[in-house]
Structure 1
Amino acid sequence: MKIAIVHDYLNQFGGAERVVCELAQVFHDAPIYTSIYHPDLTWPGLTHSHVITSWMQNMPLTKRGFRALLPLYPAVFSHLKLENYDVVISSSSSFAKGIEVGQNTIHICYCYTPTRFLWYPKDYLSRWSMGGVIEGLLTPAMGYLKRWDLEAARKPDYFLAISSVVKERIEKIYEREAKVIYPSVNTHRFRVCYRSEDFYLIVSRLLPYKRIDIAVEAFNHLNLPLVIIGDGPARQHLQRLANRNITFTGYLSDPEVLDYFCRCRAFVFPGEEDFGIAPLEANACGKPVVAYRAGGALDTVIEGKNGLFFKQQTPECLAASILQSRNVDWDPDAIRAHAEKFRPEVFHRNMAEFVDEVASKKTYRS
């Protein structure tokens, strides 16, 4: 079977880019089409793949200011026609689903979310320090881009969603059915740790929408140790809020992060994410999670088994759940077993089986 993969852009160290690396392992002969690819700005898992870029590749801003080019991406993917493949998988949170495929080609969209800057603009702009600049560039084109996005969402034959909440968004905004196939967590990198020190852990980019401020205020009140690994534009503000019981490490190497995962008492996840990899990485070390009851955490946290929820996104509610978690007799092996359900082999098998299933009942476009 001849397969191709398409992704929006490959110039970030993000969860979607990790999924592309996994897809490249499942379908190892598949070329990867994308608008922009900068190997130094994304995960190294694509170095042996055949990556094909667009005319945007050599434009200014494609490394650090690529969001300023958002109005141009529809032109890239609308004019990309992949006819000589049995199956095309678009890995997309925005534009890649808008490709054209041949009459005999099956198009599967693995969707991380409906295009956020169009349908959830306030949420999207809160994620970036230059949100105001991006908003100014997008506003004149917003009507056109929404129409284009809805039309693009009609092109895939099948939608796959990364979580139940994304499935609901796809069905609400695009009026398309979707099946959930969870992204993978590389559980092989982690080991169960049976001893814990009395500190709590956050591993995150420090951006406003991550709501690390809630955790800082909660731990200020609790006066319990909290370690925050990561960096970003919100760091200075968070450090000004924090008392001495809260430590900011900045970015750390993978072995250093693993060491903190192993030693922490529990992992704190105060934001709302489409899926959320870090809580499952903590689970892979046998550590429970205290998470906000929303988004992808609804699919990955089983209350009382591998973590606890807090129901309102407030410092008081989080603090109460932290105290509650201290009275639970957690089973590290059971927590690890839960994380194993998301290991790469499961994702590989689910994707391969889905592709085989839809290919076996292929119908041709008229």
Structure 2
Amino acid sequence: MTVVQPEPSVASVPNPAPKVAIVHEWLDTVAGSERVVQQLLLLFPQAELFAVVDFLPPGERGMLQGRKVTTTFIQRLPFARKRFRNYIGLMPLAVEQLDLSGFDLVISSNHAVAKGVITGPDQLHISYVHSPLRYAWDMQAQYLRQTGLDRGPKGLFARWLLHRLRNWDVRSAAGVDVFVANSSYIQRRIRKVYRRDALVIYPPVDVARFQPKDGPRDSFVVVSRLVPYKRVDLVIQAFRLMPQHKLVVVGDGPEWDAVSALAQGAANIVLRGKLPREELLRQMQSARACVFAAEEDFGIATVEAQACGTPVIAFGRGGALD
């Protein structure tokens, strides 16, 4: 008599956790895209983290949950700590040098170059897109105007560089297996730029923490990174014409000096810089309204404001409509 041993069931065979790599553009502050990365790290506690550069301040490194960040050669270039964005032309090359060959799953958190990492046929690459490279595509003209690069030799070089970035951006999209967009607006931009479909998964918002609170509401508030496309300058210009209304600007970034100069002499405009989360919460809870002038990808701050019972005055395009 021949005895045939039964095949082991699938459930009885141990399935090792996949090796996961999470790739983010740059780490210098904790804003909306970094909060997405934080949640990805919680979802995949075994994941390793990669970035073009890592200059995250000590007080904000808790989001990394003790992880070491593998960076690129741009981390060591001159003046990179303060001016790493000036190396945008080298970032496609830099991100392609990250060795991800030992990972089963690669998740890129992309608003510039992260999706350009090189993966193989047996690796799954999912790209969570906060935006296709903003200043290289439909926002190019606005970016060049706001940075003074719409004329002269520097402007000519900027246009040539953005042309090169567009070509690389489209080519690198072919290496992504699954696109995820943070809003229906970005879903449409992905379709327009890359001719690819994308699943919409909204970014994380801690609505349980941002709760309404009784009390006076005496000012308007802007909560934003100070970068050109956020149009904080436009909001300040508007409130200079309305001295009877107080505006509080919360946030910092490369445009701090320009925004400060614009607000100078306006007694109704207060620049608070970047605030701790508890103080930001109190500021939102006490605001008459949150003002949002950007054509934004999604806009986490607007949802946080609404969770506080604070109305939002937003530009009626982009992710704010979501």
TM-score by length of 2: 0.81
Equivalent residue number for residue 219 of structure 2: 199
Equivalent residue number for residue 226 of structure 1: 247
Q: What secondary structure is seen at the aligned counterpart in 2 of 1:279? A: helix
Q: What secondary structure is seen at the aligned counterpart in 2 of 1:100? A: coil
Equivalent residue number for residue 142 of structure 2: 123
One-letter identity of the residue aligned with 1:25: L
One-letter identity of the residue aligned with 1:179: L
One-letter identity of the residue aligned with 1:21: Q
Structure 2: distance between partners of 1:248 and 1:81: 42
Equivalent residue number for residue 235 of structure 1: 259
Q: Out of 104-113 and 82-91, give the one that drifted further.
A: 82-91
User: Cα gap change, 1:16/1:43 in structure 2, threshold over 3 Å: closer, same or farther?
Assistant: farther
> 246, 260, 270: which one pairs with 2:283?
260
% same residue: 38
Count of matched residue pairs: 298
User: Cα gap change, 1:190/1:143 in structure 2, threshold over 3 Å: closer, same or farther?
Assistant: closer
Equivalent residue number for residue 196 of structure 2: 176
Structure 1: distance between partners of 2:284 and 2:69: 34
Equivalent residue number for residue 303 of structure 2: 280
Work out whether residues 170 and 178 of structure 1, in 8 Å CA contact, stay in contact via their aligned partners in 2.
yes
User: Cα gap change, 1:28/1:154 in structure 2, threshold over 3 Å: closer, same or farther?
Assistant: same
Equivalent residue number for residue 36 of structure 1: 53
- 1:150 deviates by 1.0
User: Cα gap change, 1:271/1:39 in structure 2, threshold over 3 Å: closer, same or farther?
Assistant: closer
Structure 2: distance between partners of 1:234 and 1:164: 32
Structure 2: distance between partners of 1:42 and 1:170: 35
> 70, 73, 76: which one pairs with 1:52?
70
- 1:213 deviates by 4.6
- Per-residue CA deviations over 1:82-105 (Å, capped at 9, x if unaligned) read 233221111111212112212211
Structure 1: distance between partners of 2:170 and 2:46: 31
TM-score by length of 1: 0.72
- 1:65 deviates by 1.0
Equivalent residue number for residue 15 of structure 1: 32
Residues 1-366 of structure 1 mapped to structure 2, 5 A cutoff: 1-40=18-57, 43-44=60-61, 45-119=63-137, 120-125=139-144, 138-216=158-236, 218-219=238-239, 220-221=241-242, 223-231=244-252, 232-240=256-264, 242=266, 244-299=267-322
Work out whether residues 12 and 42 of structure 1, in 8 Å CA contact, stay in contact via their aligned partners in 2.
no
Work out whether residues 98 and 117 of structure 2, in 8 Å CA contact, stay in contact via their aligned partners in 1.
yes
Q: Structure 2: which 5+ runs fail to align?
A: 1-17
User: Cα gap change, 1:49/1:285 in structure 2, threshold over 3 Å: closer, same or farther?
Assistant: same
User: Cα gap change, 1:245/1:37 in structure 2, threshold over 3 Å: closer, same or farther?
Assistant: closer
- 1:106 deviates by 0.9
Work out whether residues 128 and 207 of structure 1, in 8 Å CA contact, stay in contact via their aligned partners in 2.
no
Structure 1: distance between partners of 2:86 and 2:150: 10
Q: What secondary structure is seen at the aligned counterpart in 2 of 1:101? A: coil
User: Cα gap change, 1:207/1:114 in structure 2, threshold over 3 Å: closer, same or farther?
Assistant: closer
Q: What secondary structure is seen at the aligned counterpart in 2 of 1:57? A: helix
- 1:123 deviates by 3.4
Equivalent residue number for residue 329 of structure 1: none
Q: Structure 1: which 5+ runs fail to align?
A: 300-366
User: Cα gap change, 1:148/1:218 in structure 2, threshold over 3 Å: closer, same or farther?
Assistant: closer
Q: What secondary structure is seen at the aligned counterpart in 1 of 2:73? A: coil
- 1:51 deviates by 1.9
Structure 2: distance between partners of 1:25 and 1:274: 23
Q: What secondary structure is seen at the aligned counterpart in 2 of 1:267? A: strand
Q: Out of 63-72 and 124-133, give the one that drifted further.
A: 124-133
- 1:68 deviates by 1.8
